[in-house]
Amino acid sequence: MKLRYKTTLNLVATIVLMIGCMSASSAGAAKRYYYQLKVYHYKTTAQEGRIERYLEQAYVPAMHRAGISQVGVFKPIQQDTADLRIYVFTPFTSMDKLTGIDQKLQADTKYLTDGEDYIDADYKDAPYNRIETIVMQAFPKMPAPAVPNLTGNKADRVYELRSYESPTEKYNFNKVRMFNDGDEVGLFKRLGFNAVFYSEVIAGPRMPNLMYMTTFNDKADRDKHWDAFNNDSYWKSLSAKAEYQHNVSHADIIFLYPMAYSDF
């Protein structure tokens, strides 16, 4: 009888421990940020000025009032004149906050006033040609964004945005695992890449893929870091593993610089 009672207690203890671990795991997953990356596509300097005034005077301040302390606004270092762009990176602590932000903005009278020129633009005089929106979730290895710890002038900084597409969903999962379980994130951190974020893309025009952003004081600093990365013994060992082969089918590398009013 005592043995049966002891066995029952052990079973209950095991179940409680499992539930505790599951709760801790769920709590950890819940802390992973969700990111929205908006890409404004425009053609004229008039559109550019309108978008920038809106972002600087209305959108970024409204995000701050909504409790989002850091918003990134960037432009390509070399613009494609046929497809001019502005990138806006906004982090959210939950998916609910991301999906609810538009409604919150509509209730912000100061935002509506400060951004009137953009918000109330006539259909014949649109401030942009289109907006591309990408929704992402932070990697477990870096669950929240970070403001880069750089010493160089802001105007000289290089923000490197990378998008890695995979041939199938399974290969994409494998590449994400390479960053997390394979600790590619840790390698970047050890080498001082000053990452802003690493993420799985949940929705966007190019799927399946992941995206991340690293930062440098200038172009020379960027090249120096990547040289160290490519020659690092851990990277050579990790990238040579059979389990991580063929998990990237296409890579886009975009060099950006931050606007003066960008928080990142």
pLDDT by residue (tens digit) across 42-58?
A: 999 999 999 999 999 99
Q: What is the mean pLDDT of residues 242-260?
A: 97
- SS3 for 48? helix
Question: Residue 74 above 50 pLDDT?
Answer: yes
Instruction: Give pLDDT, residue 9.
Output: 40
Residue 171: predicted pLDDT: 98
Buried b (16+ CB within 10 A) or exposed e, 245-257: eebbeeeeebebe
Band of pLDDT at residue 11, cut at 50, 70 and 90: very low
User: What pTM, to 2 d.p., does this model score?
Assistant: 0.86
Structure confidence by residue, pLDDT tens digits, 176-215:
999 999 999 999 999 999 999 999 999 999 999 999 999 9
The full set of domains in the chain, from first to last, is 32-258 (3.30.70.100)
Per-residue pLDDT band at 155 (split at 50, 70, 90): confident
* C-alpha distances out from residue 148 to 52, 189, 194, Å: 23, 12, 5
Average confidence score pLDDT of the chain? 91
pLDDT reported for residue 151: 87
For residue 161, give the nearest of 84, 256, 247 by alpha carbon: 256
